[in-house]
Chain A
Amino acid sequence: MSKTTGALIAILFSFGLSHAAPDDGLLYDKLNDPRFCDTADEFKNTYQFLIKQNDLGFTEPQAIKGALKVAKNCTGAYERFSQVFRVLQKSGVDMKKTFQVALEYSGFDNERAKNFYVLFQKLFLENYLDIDFSTAYRISHELSKDYKGDPAKLRDDFVKIVKYCTDEKEFSLGKPLCMDLALRLTKYTELYPNGLYDEFRKFMVYIQTNKHLGFNLREALNLSVRVLSKGPKASRNFRQTIDFALNKSEKLNLPELQAFQLALIISDYSFDPTKKKPEETALNVDSKPDKKDDKKLK
């Protein structure tokens, strides 16, 4: 009896331990708190990585110093560092410069670092935009560490636009034109909650299939950039105005050219930069002291 009781207690104890999930769950949140860093892993991985890079020519103390700098950039720093380092190293960048840039990106968030090494490849490699190193390097910085908006959204738009533009089944435009298009369009990515690629594609299909708008590809692309630059409602406003203005049952019933001009004006009105974004407005409201309350307090 006592043996059975002892075994049960042991099983329960072990069960209890294995079901300590509620406590772990509490700890898990804390572990995801960005203020708490896995610096030991970051240091160890970076040190081991650096010591293997013979071309870098780091001495042991230099490798330790480098690993410390990376580890200081908190969880994920090694991953960001090593990804940027490998892409630049493989592209033939000077090793000291590679280290400096990789170290710099280890200090940014994952998405920003990913923007750099993903977009750099899209810009630089021969099977993508195939532009020169200096330009690819400069634009990659502009679209990652210097970018003020959501880097993931920008990256997604950029990659999709380049693919769509260079795709032989779609436009098969020249690489310089595609780069120009991607850069012009992604300037407005931040206006779109989910990026502008889908809207761009939809609008391109509309322009190219609309029998009233006889644009060639270049004109269609320019029109898309202009309309999409006015935000997520602009393309719908443009389409609706065209439909309305050309509708023979409506009194307006404009000729095609005038209908197009009207649609452009209406779509231009789709964005009012003088108005503030809702969260900005909310922030401003929160931060403004209530004068009435002030009076009350007084």
Chain B
Amino acid sequence: MIKNLSKFFLVLFTLTLTLVQAQPKGADLKRLSSVELQWEDSPGAFMYEVEVFNSKNKRLKKFVSKTSLFKFKSTSGKIKIRGRVLDAYGKKGLWSEIIETTVPPDDIKFPETDSKPIEAKASNSTLKGKVKLEWPEGIQAKQYAVKVYDKDNKVVLEKTVSTLFVNFDLDIGTYQYSVTPIGNDFILGKEIMSPKKIEIGSAQLPDERFDIVRGPGNSLQIKMPKKSGIEIYGELEYSHHMAEDWTPVLEYKPFTQGIWSPEKKLKPGRYRVGFWVRRTGWLDSAKFNHEFVIKPTEAEIAESISQP
């Protein structure tokens, strides 16, 4: 019977937070992970005796029980266990072999009722949205491994922290995140997904610089900004002098040259050229506008006057 101790199996699991919090004297007590230990029943056993040691062989606990099921609280980390049976006369059997096992920290319990997404707008200077991810304290957790998953379930960011929050800068998109508690001896708990999604909304792209320069013969030129990942769109509009309305003349979608200059043979009048920057997932930047006038030549006016 006693020899059968080696066949004992352990059932170790963490208890819920409510059970732990039910300990009223917890102010001074360490919050411990709950451990259940199940011996294989021995027909001649009257009592069972179990000793629990930490990884440094310091005895943590000693139990005597009439049943083969032991429930106790323990710090997280690596533990060693041995046991023996006592018969009805109190005669003790031999100690079992030491069984090494681990006690993980308890699972993180996210409030299930709060699934409101964590929202942020991407900044138009960094092009990223700043979010603060938080979670409840995990029993016997010394650190927390936080992972952020994108919509394709790919980990895009991960970080291990000792606090109950972490700040991340994320690109525009929808994400989920998980928290894995880490106990003593770096024993990992269970990875728990937060019920809250992260949503980084698009923001308006920052205004880019369009420089007006003078080309050959004092001609108008506008220099396009050079930046990777952006496309420049534009439009040219016309208005008569002393009129309010603008009529589209040309669209540039996109404009790919480094310098813009007015098309040749534009009819006289007022023109307004506008450029803006576009990037996938972003709101277009504000439009840069520049007005200019095309004047007729003296010869063109003379020709017009000479017509019958």
Chain A complexes with chain B = yes
Q: Using a CB–CB distance below 8 Å, which chain A residues touch chain B?
A: 83, 86-87, 89-95, 97, 121, 124-128, 130, 132-133, 137
Q: Which residues of B contact A133 (CB under 8 A)?
A: 241, 270, 293
With A90-B296, A91-B295, A91-B296 already in contact, the answer to whether A97 and B301 are too (CB < 8 A) is no
Q: How far is the CA of A97 from the CA of B301 in the complex (A)?
A: 18
Q: How far is the CB of A81 from chain B (nearest CB, A)?
A: 12
Q: How far is the CA of A86 from the CA of B304 in the complex (A)?
A: 6
- Main SS class of interface, A: helix
Please tell me if B294 contacts chain A, counting CB pairs below 8 Å: yes
Q: How far is the CA of A124 from the CA of B296 in the complex (A)?
A: 9
Select which of A83, A91, A97 is within 8 A of B268 by beta carbon: A91
Q: How far is the CB of B9 from chain A (nearest CB, A)?
A: 93
Q: How far is the CA of A193 from the CA of B304 in the complex (A)?
A: 35
- Determine whether the beta carbon of B267 is less than 8 Å from that of A89: no
- Determine whether the beta carbon of A92 is less than 8 Å from that of B297: no
Q: Which residues of A contact B240 (CB under 8 A)?
A: 92-95, 97
- Determine whether the beta carbon of B298 is less than 8 Å from that of A94: no
Q: How far is the CA of A124 from the CA of B270 in the complex (A)?
A: 13
Q: How far is the CB of A42 from chain B (nearest CB, A)?
A: 16
- Determine whether the beta carbon of B298 is less than 8 Å from that of A92: no
Please tell me if B254 contacts chain A, counting CB pairs below 8 Å: no
Q: How far is the CA of A279 from the CA of B298 in the complex (A)?
A: 41
- Determine whether the beta carbon of A92 is less than 8 Å from that of B301: no
Select which of A90, A127, A128, A132 is within 8 A of B293 by beta carbon: A132
Please tell me if B269 contacts chain A, counting CB pairs below 8 Å: yes
- Determine whether the beta carbon of B298 is less than 8 Å from that of A125: yes
- Determine whether the beta carbon of B295 is less than 8 Å from that of A94: no
Which 8 A/B pairs are nearest by Cβ-Cβ distance? A92-B269, A92-B268, A94-B240, A94-B243, A97-B242, A93-B241, A86-B304, A90-B304
Q: Which residues of B contact A91 (CB under 8 A)?
A: 241, 268-269, 295-296, 301
Which residue of chain A is the closest to B296 with respect to CB atoms?
Answer: A90
Interface hits, B256-308 → A, CB 8 Å: 267-270, 293-298, 300-301, 304-305, 307
- Determine whether the beta carbon of B301 is less than 8 Å from that of A90: yes
Q: How far is the CA of A97 from the CA of B297 in the complex (A)?
A: 21
Q: Which residues of B contact A127 (CB under 8 A)?
A: 297-298
Q: Which residues of A contact B307 (CB under 8 A)?
A: 86
- Determine whether the beta carbon of B298 is less than 8 Å from that of A121: yes
- Determine whether the beta carbon of A93 is less than 8 Å from that of B242: yes
CB 8 Å contact bits of B222-266 with A (1 = contact, 0 = none): 000000000000000000111100000000000000000000000
Q: How far is the CA of A95 from the CA of B307 in the complex (A)?
A: 18
Which residue of chain B is the closest to A130 with respect to CB atoms?
Answer: B295
Which residue of chain B is the closest to A100 with respect to CB atoms?
Answer: B242
Q: How far is the CA of A83 from the CA of B307 in the complex (A)?
A: 10
- Determine whether the beta carbon of A97 is less than 8 Å from that of B293: no
Q: How far is the CA of A34 from the CA of B81 in the complex (A)?
A: 129
Which residue of chain A is the closest to B245 with respect to CB atoms?
Answer: A94
Which residue of chain B is the closest to A133 with respect to CB atoms?
Answer: B241
With A97-B243, A125-B296, A126-B295 already in contact, the answer to whether A92 and B305 are too (CB < 8 A) is no
| Subset of 29 A-B contacts with CB under 8 Å | A86-B301, A86-B304, A86-B307, A87-B301, A87-B305, A90-B268, A90-B300, A90-B301, A91-B268, A91-B269, A92-B240, A92-B267, A92-B294, A92-B296, A93-B240, A94-B243, A97-B240, A97-B241, A97-B243, A124-B295, A125-B296, A125-B297, A125-B298, A125-B301, A126-B295, A127-B297, A127-B298, A128-B298, A133-B241
Q: How far is the CA of A83 from the CA of B304 in the complex (A)?
A: 9
List 6 additional A-B contacts (Cβ < 8 Å) besides A86-B305, A87-B301, A125-B301: A94-B240, A97-B242, A121-B298, A125-B298, A130-B295, A137-B242
Q: How far is the CB of B244 from chain A (nearest CB, A)?
A: 9
Q: How far is the CA of A133 from the CA of B268 in the complex (A)?
A: 11
Q: Which residues of A contact B269 (CB under 8 A)?
A: 91-92
Q: How far is the CB of A125 from chain B (nearest CB, A)?
A: 6
Q: Which residues of A contact B243 (CB under 8 A)?
A: 94, 97
Which residue of chain A is the closest to B266 with respect to CB atoms?
Answer: A92
Q: How far is the CA of A137 from the CA of B293 in the complex (A)?
A: 14
With A90-B268, A94-B240, A94-B241 already in contact, the answer to whether A125 and B295 are too (CB < 8 A) is yes
Q: How far is the CA of A250 from the CA of B281 in the complex (A)?
A: 91
Q: How far is the CA of A121 from the CA of B298 in the complex (A)?
A: 8
Q: How far is the CB of A205 from chain B (nearest CB, A)?
A: 29
With A124-B295, A126-B295 already in contact, the answer to whether A92 and B241 are too (CB < 8 A) is yes
Q: Which residues of B contact A130 (CB under 8 A)?
A: 295
